[in-house]
Structure 1
Amino acid sequence: MAAPENYTKALQESQDVFHRFPLQLVHGIPLMEPIAQQWGPIENFQARPDDLLISTYPKAGVQQLANVPSPRVIKTHLPFQLVPKSFWENRCKVIYVARNAKDNVVSYYFFDQMNKTQPEPGPWELYVQKFMDGKLAWGSWYDHVCRYWAERANHCILYVFYEDMKEDPAREIRRVMDFLEVELPPQVLEKIVQQTSFQIMKENPMANYSSVPSTILDQTVSPFMRKGQVGDWKNHFTVAQSKVFDAHYQRRMQGTGLHFRTQL
């Protein structure tokens, strides 16, 4: 099964005092301690052929999922190599959403500040270095986005860019419809575009995590859904940081054939 997105629910039911959990390596990938400790059931999760897996790098309950009727929509932040093999054996469809590295690291930094179960993010300049080194929860952004991109030829993976969704959501929703082999009338498509806009979702308790106690997600530090912009990285990177980051990025992405836009 995919990583347990609802592990905060288990934490809420616990009598323990909330604290920032350390990272533990699982097959070389740093994961949150509660996830690493239940890795056996996750790794052995049995996918069904009609499962839809939606995967993202961040800022992109095993037993509970096992009893959910088909078709199931399952979300995960797991890198490709940690996704349970049953998803690939059953040729499940996967939608992968990728966001440019600079906006991704900014968003992840603010998320780690407000999420009191994540490791302490520390100062911005050190956080950027940890991002480049792949030492954050869920591992390397570079490995994450590049591996799913490379595996498109071998599996049923639809690769979606966050920037494309911001630019033309209707176009990208039609791509998803084609991938899932479903047809929707124009008025339904229009409603989906409206209801999935960042502003509408930011105000929706089902999407903004406002029901999660502030002891876990302290939204006075930063809202769960913060800006959702393309190019916000310019407000946080210094000129020197941007230059160092760009040089490292070019080295890591060279030859991958994968290109992101950092502004629209």
Structure 2
Amino acid sequence: MTEAELYSVYKGVYVPTFVHPPESLKYYEEFTFRPDDILIITYPKSGTTWMQEVIPLIVSDGDLTPVLTVPNWDRAPWLEEQRAIQLNLEQRPSPRVFSTHFHHSMMNESYFKIKPRVLYVMRNPKDVFTSSYYYYGMASYMVNPGTQDEFMEKFLDGKIMFGSWFDHVKGWINADKQESILYIFYEEMIADLKGSVEKIAKFLGKSLNPDVIEKIAEQCVFKNMKQNKMSNFSLVPEEYMDHKKSEFLRKGIVGDWRNHFTEAQEQRFNAVYKDKMKDVKFKFMWD
């Protein structure tokens, strides 16, 4: 099926209509934040699921119950998805944990007024591309990616779900400095998960002892998350996600793009990246 059949255009970017119907987008627009809300904000395939495991464990002081009994889409729901409407989020006790893939410019009026806490996770766009390619191939509500060359052109042009990676990242790293944002890299979490948990906990005002940090990091190691049916998306019916084509949690590594890019594709990607990021002063781990 085509983009016109599967996607809607919302604030200038594609969103899959199946999971983002008009009523859920309206719900988000009218949503009221609290100052102690915690927002996990990512471009898709940048570490959202990982954060949806880490943050609830920090909030619960290392109690594993939330991540072993509640699906990640309910414990840290996407505010723009249809599921959010059903969850009585207004009644949830603080601190509430939410996820969104929205660009900075797409955030609602309440966000800019209240300025809740944000964890913005970034990942090497080449790995984002590679992970996205497999995801598009297994999810029925997304346009089939076609060949890797075809999908690369769409990715570089921002003609995919949630638009341009470049615009998304530039929008968030240039956000108002008064906003309460912690920038963290997927690569940083891979290199030192315990250190990352400690850094995130400190940002959230949580003082956790070393044993709790160790326990959280152990639960959030990729192989353990992959076995957790509340986190690995295996509960999603096969008609929507075909795990025989590709697992949702596939490899969880840094640099997998090197196993997939041809030399020509790497040169093409590098040229576009250099052009689109030429004025960015922010220091990325992969540069």
TM-score, normalising length: structure 2: 0.81
Tell me the equivalent position of 2:142.
118
- How far apart are 1:261 and its partner, in Å? 3.9
Q: 1:21 to 1:156 in 2, by over 3 A?
A: farther
Q: Check if 1:29 corresponds to 2:13.
A: yes
Query: Superposed, which structure 2 residues align to 1:44-193 within 5 Å?
Result: 44-60=30-46, 61-63=83-85, 64=87, 65-151=89-175, 153-193=177-217
Tell me the equivalent position of 2:58.
none
- How far apart are 1:225 and its partner, in Å? 0.3
Give the structure, 1 or 2, with the largest relative contact order (CA under 8 Å, sep 6 or more): 2
- Greater shift, 184-193 or 145-154, is seen at 145-154
Q: Does the residue aligned with 1:24 lie in a helix, a strand or coil?
A: strand
Contact 1:49–1:91 (CA under 8 A) maintained in structure 2: yes
Q: Distance in 2 between matches of 1:101 and 1:244?
A: 13
Contact 1:231–1:262 (CA under 8 A) maintained in structure 2: no
Q: Distance in 2 between matches of 1:247 and 1:261?
A: 18
- How far apart are 1:245 and its partner, in Å? 0.6
- How far apart are 1:87 and its partner, in Å? 2.0
Tell me the equivalent position of 1:8.
none
Q: Distance in 2 between matches of 1:23 and 1:258?
A: 32
Contact 1:21–1:118 (CA under 8 A) maintained in structure 2: no
Q: Distance in 2 between matches of 1:188 and 1:142?
A: 36
Tell me the equivalent position of 1:256.
280
Q: Does the residue aligned with 2:142 lie in a helix, a strand or coil?
A: coil
Q: Distance in 2 between matches of 1:124 and 1:91?
A: 39
Q: Does the residue aligned with 1:54 lie in a helix, a strand or coil?
A: strand
- How far apart are 1:259 and its partner, in Å? 3.7
> Any idea what the Cα deviations from partners look like across 1:67-126, whole Å, max 9, x if unmatched?
323221001111111122212311200001110100000001101111111122111111
Q: Distance in 2 between matches of 1:23 and 1:250?
A: 29
Q: Check if 1:40 corresponds to 2:26.
A: yes
Contact 2:31–2:110 (CA under 8 A) maintained in structure 1: yes
Instruction: Report the number of matched residues.
Output: 244
Q: Does the residue aligned with 1:187 lie in a helix, a strand or coil?
A: helix
**Structure 2: stretches of 5+ with no match in the other structure:** 47-82
Identity over the aligned pairs, expressed in percent?
38
Q: Distance in 1 between matches of 2:184 and 2:274?
A: 21
Contact 1:21–1:117 (CA under 8 A) maintained in structure 2: no
> Any idea what the Cα deviations from partners look like across 1:143-199, whole Å, max 9, x if unmatched?
111111111513111011000110111111111112111100110000111111111
Q: Considering only aligned residues, what root-mean-square deviation do their CA atoms show, in Å?
A: 1.6
- Greater shift, 201-210 or 149-158, is seen at 149-158
- Greater shift, 62-71 or 162-171, is seen at 62-71
**Structure 1: stretches of 5+ with no match in the other structure:** 1-19
- Greater shift, 48-57 or 22-31, is seen at 22-31
